[in-house]
């Protein structure tokens, strides 16, 4: 992965900075306005989870590429990593309907929908790492 | 279809006053209020149903569960203040044989 | 999505420009039709905003920068709606899935009930069982034996819906696995009680009335486990009496004993067994009285047993505004004249 920029999230300002970093990178890669808004919304949700529930954590934004059938595919990757309580039941937070609870992990199904690729790893009591990618069409 | 539960701790027992209807919708709330009281060692729990006009079978189930739980902790469950309709239900189901539904209404007041 | 999206984009451009030119109702009607298409193609609201903005920029190249930016702002706002809409769609799909699962289970449950109604000589039998929702916590059962006795059981499992239905299947298997030789009603209930007591959660229980009708002697022996009393109609006195059998519900006491009762059934007499869904029928005025049920039965007494139960059900259904609050089971056994 080339040029990755990371933002520490421990205030609401951190959420805004993470969004800004995401938007800049999305524009640079060439995403249109709709996808830019989707990417920043996904960053918002991930950053809020860190801000509200984890002791500390950061959001990293980077460009990724992959060889596909039609040549090289470019994309934007978000990595949200925190040291926090972790999520006990990932299947539960990934189920629709959980969003409304407003608790830890709320909004993750939304993030998965906004992005093309979504991956989560969490250890109870240690923390959570979420990786999400949006490919440029 | 509403139910209210008021809990008071008296010298030697927990008193739970219930008002409204106990059915499949309200029963879980009653269970949450009632069962923990029965899990205190040797505790007597008295449930006053004076202001309850209807209980369905799910409601009866809550009392059965609470009775068994009370017995497990060497305690007891007593139900008082039953109106005619509710009394008939306890009598038809034979539950008056296992739960004390004594006429304690005056005393409890 | 690519092609469909391009076509929609083209269409939107056309109808929007048409509307801006003519500003008439027909144009707005096109907009409404378009929104249906957008939903069909699962285009999210933020995409519609973006579509609108790009069309606007094409038609009005000198649109003020502030107006343009405000659409970017709106787009951000609409993302949440789009997510909520997609979640709603996925929950709807899941609901459909669950419903079809329940349909399958409900069909399976139907096979637990007797497929026909027994027709012993001199005895007219009618039965109707209707669940309040898809699955039932009521159960009934007929057993013929070689001694010309017809065994009838009616049971009501606490609660209703899926949990009650699961418990009902247990009762069915417990009844099927009772010893071959005929049990007296009281012994049968004591036997079932042991099975239920060992197999259900502490707050579950089952009520049951079990009777055995001797078709030659015309006697009805019965016992009850906390079940809603039925009725006995005596033709000679032209009166209904309560048919109750005292006993504790199944599943509470490990060793329960049941009392046995007997009736000699005269020609024209009949026995009514029911679940509490019949007597706890609730109208806007409150619960109906048991007398109301005997009145309804009396009104249809000239009909066959099956027609009687059907009519009583339809009238009670009407009284409750066609909404059943509990599972309904009604059974009539009449000695023919």
Instruction: Clarify whether residues C92 and C118 are in a common domain.
Output: no
Touching check for B68 and chain C: CB below 8 Å?
yes
Looking at per-residue confidence, does C84 or C180 come out higher?
A: C84
Query: Alpha-carbon distance B34 to B16, whole Å?
Result: 8
Mean pLDDT value of segment B17-39: 92
Answer whether residue B63 is part of any domain: yes
Q: Which of A34, A41, A99 sits opposite C50 (nearest CB)?
A: A34
A54 bridge partner residues = none
pLDDT for the residue numbered B105? 46
Supply the range of the domain harboring residue C22: 2-105
* Any domain includes B105: no
Q: Which of A48-52, C171-175, C200-204, C235-239 has the highest mean pLDDT?
A: C235-239
Which residue, C75, C105, C135, sits at the end of a domain? C105
Q: pLDDT at position C192, please?
A: 92
Q: Which pLDDT value is given to residue B108? A: 40
**pLDDT tens for residues C249-305?**
999 888 999 999 999 999 999 999 999 888 877 777 777 888 899 999 999 999 999
Q: Mean pLDDT throughout B73-102?
A: 91
Query: In this model, does residue A70 exceed pLDDT 80?
Result: no
Other chains touching B, judged by 3 or more CB pairs under 8 Å: C
Does an interface of 3+ CB pairs under 8 Å exist between C and B? yes
**What value does the mean pLDDT take over residues C21-42?**
92
The secondary structure of A33-101 as a DSSP string is HHHHHHHHHHHHHHHHHHHHH-SEEEEEEEEEEEEETTEEEEEEEEEEEEESS--S-HHHHTSTTGGGG
C36 shares its domain with C89:
yes
pLDDT band at C312 (very low <50, low <70, confident <90, very high): very high
Q: Are C190 and C217 in contact (CB under 8 A)?
A: no
Give the 3-state DSSP-derived string for A94-129, with helices as H, strands as E and coil as C: CCCCHHHHCCCCCCHHHHHHHCCEEEEEEECCCEEE
The domain locations on chain A are 2-135
The residues, ordered by sequence, that sit 6+ positions from A135 with a Cβ below 8 Å of its Cβ are A66, A73, A74, A75, A116, A117
- Assess whether pLDDT exceeds 50 at residue B107: no
Largest CA-CA distance found in chain A, in angstroms, rounded: 43
Residues B58, C159: C-beta atoms closer than 8 Å: yes
Binary contact (C87, A110; C-beta < 8 A): yes
pLDDT of residue C276: 85
Any chain A CB within 8 A of the CB of C69?
no
pLDDT value for A19: 95
3-state secondary structure (DSSP) of residue C148: coil
- Whether B109 is in a domain gets the answer no
Regarding beta strands B44-55 and B13-22, do their DSSP bridges make them parallel or antiparallel, or are they unpaired? Answer: parallel
* Residues on chain A touching C1 (C-beta within 8 angstroms): none
Average pLDDT over residues C319-334: 89
* Same-domain pairing of C97 and C152: no
Task: Read off the CATH number of the domain in which B88 is found.
Answer: 3.30.750.24
Averaged pLDDT score across all residues of chain C:
90
Give CA angle at C22 (C19, C27), nearest 5°.
40
- Asked whether residue B57 is domain-assigned, the answer is yes
Q: What are the tens digits of pLDDT across the range C98-111?
A: 999 999 999 988 88
Residue A104 CB contacts under 8 Å (≥ 6 apart), including other chains: A49, A52, A53, A85, A87, A93
Contact residues on chain A for C90, CB-CB shorter than 8 A: 96
According to the model, what pLDDT value does residue C214 have? Answer: 94
d(CA B46, CA A29): 70
pLDDT of residue C66: 94
Quick: pLDDT tens for C206-261. Answer: 999 999 999 999 999 999 999 999 999 999 999 999 999 999 999 988 899 999 99
Is B68 contained in some domain? yes
Q: Of the residues C59, C83, C105, which one is the last residue of a structural domain?
A: C105
**What is the C-alpha to C-alpha distance for residues C299 and C45, in angstroms, rounded to an integer?**
60
Task: Specify whether the CB–CB gap between A61 and A25 falls below 8 A.
Answer: yes
pLDDT at position A106? 62
For A94, nearest residue in chain C (alpha carbons): C87
CATH of the domain at C60: 1.10.1240.30
Whether residue B106 lies inside any domain: the answer is no
Domains contained in chain C, number: 2
Alpha-carbon span A101 to A99, nearest angstrom: 5
| Long-range contacts at C237-244 (CB < 8 A, ≥ 24 apart) | C240/C294, C240/C297, C240/C298, C242/C290, C243/C271, C243/C272, C243/C273, C244/B92
pLDDT average, residue stretch A10-20: 92
**CATH code of residue C214:** 3.60.40.10
Residue C332's pLDDT is: 97
Co-location of C265 and C284 in the same domain: yes
Q: What CA–CA distances, in Å, run from A99 to A42, A108, C84, C231, C279?
A: 14, 8, 9, 53, 43
Q: Is the ipTM of this complex over 0.85?
A: no
A-C CB pairs within 8 A amount to 36
Total count of residues recorded for chain C: 337
Q: Do C87 and A33 touch (CB under 8 A)?
A: no
pLDDT in tens, C78-102: 998 988 888 888 899 999 999 999 9
B45-B46-B48 Cα angle (round to 5): 150
C180 in the same domain as C40: no
Nearest CA in chain C to A36: C76
Residues forming a β-bridge with C222: C211, C261
Q: Find residue C270's DSSP bridge partners.
A: C233, C334
Does chain B reach chain A with at least 3 CB pairs under 8 Å? no
pLDDT at C159 > cutoff 80: no
CATH for A2-135 (3.30.2320.50, 3.30.565.10, 3.40.50.2000, 3.40.50.880):
3.30.565.10
pLDDT tops 70 at residue C48: yes
Q: How much is the mean pLDDT over chain B? A: 88
Same domain assignment for residues C116 and C99: no
* Cα distance between residue B38 and residue B47, in whole Å: 11
Judge if C70 and C120 occupy the same domain. no
Whether C131 and C97 map to the same domain: the answer is no
C178 and C316, same domain (yes or no):
yes
Determine the structural domain holding residue B40 and report its residue range. 3-100
Report the distance separating Cα B16 and Cα A41, nearest Å.
49
**Taking all residues of chain A, what is their mean pLDDT, rounded to a whole number?**
88
Task: Provide the pLDDT for residue C27.
Answer: 93
Q: Does B42 touch chain C (CB under 8 A)?
A: no
Q: Distance between CA atoms of C36 and C260, rounded to whole angstroms? A: 67
pLDDT the model gives residue A98: 64
Contact C158 B95 (CB under 8 A): no
Q: Single out the residue of A16, A18, A88 nearest to residue A58, CA to CA.
A: A18
Q: Give the per-residue pLDDT at C46.
A: 92
Residue in C closest to A32 by C-alpha = C50
- Residue C53 has a pLDDT of 93
Has residue B104 got a pLDDT over 50?
no
Token pair of C232, please? 């006995």
In chain B, how many domains are there?
A: 1
Instruction: Quick: pLDDT tens for A43-64.
Output: 999 999 899 888 789 999 999 9
Q: Give residue-wise pLDDT tens across range A21-32.
A: 999 999 999 999
Which phi and psi (to 5°) does residue B101 adopt? Answer: -115, 45
Write b or e for each residue in A51-75: b if 16 or more Cβ atoms lie within 10 A of its Cβ, otherwise e.
bebbeebbbbbbbbeeeeeeeeeeb
Is the overall model pTM greater than 0.90, yes or no?
no
C225 and C126 in a single domain? The answer is yes
> C129, exposed or middle or buried, with CB in 10 Å at 0-12, 13-18, 19+?
buried
Mean pLDDT of A86-92: 85
């Amino acid at each position: 992965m080339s040029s990755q920029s990371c933002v520490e999230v421990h205030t609401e300002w951190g959420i805004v900075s993470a969004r800004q970093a995401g938007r800049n990178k999305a524009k640079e890669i060439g995403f249109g306005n709709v996808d830019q808004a989707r990417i920043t919304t996904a960053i918002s949700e991930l950053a809020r989870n860190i801000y509200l529930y984890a002791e500390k954590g950061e959001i990293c934004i980077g460009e990724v590429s992959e060889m596909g059938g039609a040549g090289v595919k470019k994309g934007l990757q978000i990595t949200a990593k925190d040291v926090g309580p972790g999520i006990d039941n990932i299947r539960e937070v990934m189920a629709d309907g959980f969003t409304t609870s407003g608790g830890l992990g709320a909004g993750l199904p939304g993030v998965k929908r906004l992005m093309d690729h979504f991956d989560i790893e969490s250890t109870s009591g240690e923390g959570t790492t979420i990786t999400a990618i949006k490919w440029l069409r | 279809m509403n139910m209210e539960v008021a809990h008071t701790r008296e010298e030697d027992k927990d008193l739970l006053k219930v008002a409204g209807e106990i059915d499949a919708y309200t029963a879980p709330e009653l269970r949450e209020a009632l069962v923990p009281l029965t899990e205190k060692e040797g505790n007597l729990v008295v449930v006053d149903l004076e202001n309850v006009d209807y209980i369905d079978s799910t409601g009866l189930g809550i009392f059965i569960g609470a009775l068994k739980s009370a017995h497990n902790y060497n305690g007891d469950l007593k139900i008082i203040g039953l109106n005619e309709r509710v009394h008939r239900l306890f009598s038809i189901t034979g539950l008056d044989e296992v739960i004390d539904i004594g006429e304690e209404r005056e005393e409890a007041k | 999505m690519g092609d469909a999206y391009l076509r929609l984009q083209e269409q939107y451009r056309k109808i929007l420009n048409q509307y801006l030119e003519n500003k008439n109702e027909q144009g707005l009607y096109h907009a409404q039709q378009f929104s249906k298409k957008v939903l069909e193609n699962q285009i999210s609201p933020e995409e519609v905003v973006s579509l609108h903005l790009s069309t606007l920029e094409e038609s009005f190249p000198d649109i003020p920068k502030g107006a343009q930016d405000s659409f970017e702002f709106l787009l951000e706002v609409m993302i949440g709606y789009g997510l909520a809409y997609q979640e709603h769609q996925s929950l709807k799909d899941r609901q459909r899935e669950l419903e079809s699962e329940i349909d399958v289970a409900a069909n399976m449950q139907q096979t637990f009930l007797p497929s026909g109604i027994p027709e012993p000589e001199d005895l007219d039998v009618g039965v109707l069982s209707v669940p309040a929702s898809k699955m039932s916590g009521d159960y009934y059962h007929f057993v013929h034996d070689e001694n010309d006795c017809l065994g009838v059981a009616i049971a009501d499992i606490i609660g209703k819906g899926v949990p009650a239905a699961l418990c009902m299947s247990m009762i069915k298997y417990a009844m099927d696995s009772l010893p071959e030789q005929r049990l007296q009603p009281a012994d049968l209930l004591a036997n079932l009680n042991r099975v239920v007591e060992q197999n259900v959660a502490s707050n579950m229980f089952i009520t049951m009335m079990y009777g055995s009708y001797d078709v030659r002697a015309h006697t009805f022996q019965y016992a009850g486990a906390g079940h809603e009393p039925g009725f006995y109609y005596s033709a000679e006195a032209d009166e209904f009496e309560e048919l109750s059998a005292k006993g504790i519900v199944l599943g509470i006491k490990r060793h329960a004993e049941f009392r046995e009762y007997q009736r000699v059934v005269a020609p024209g007499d009949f026995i009514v067994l029911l679940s509490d869904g019949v007597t706890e029928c609730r109208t806007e005025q409150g619960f109906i009285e048991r007398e109301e049920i005997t009145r309804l039965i009396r009104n249809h007494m000239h009909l066959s047993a099956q027609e009687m139960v059907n009519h009583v059900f339809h009238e009670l259904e009407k009284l409750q505004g066609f909404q059943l609050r509990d599972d309904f089971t009604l059974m009539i056994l009449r000695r023919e004249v």
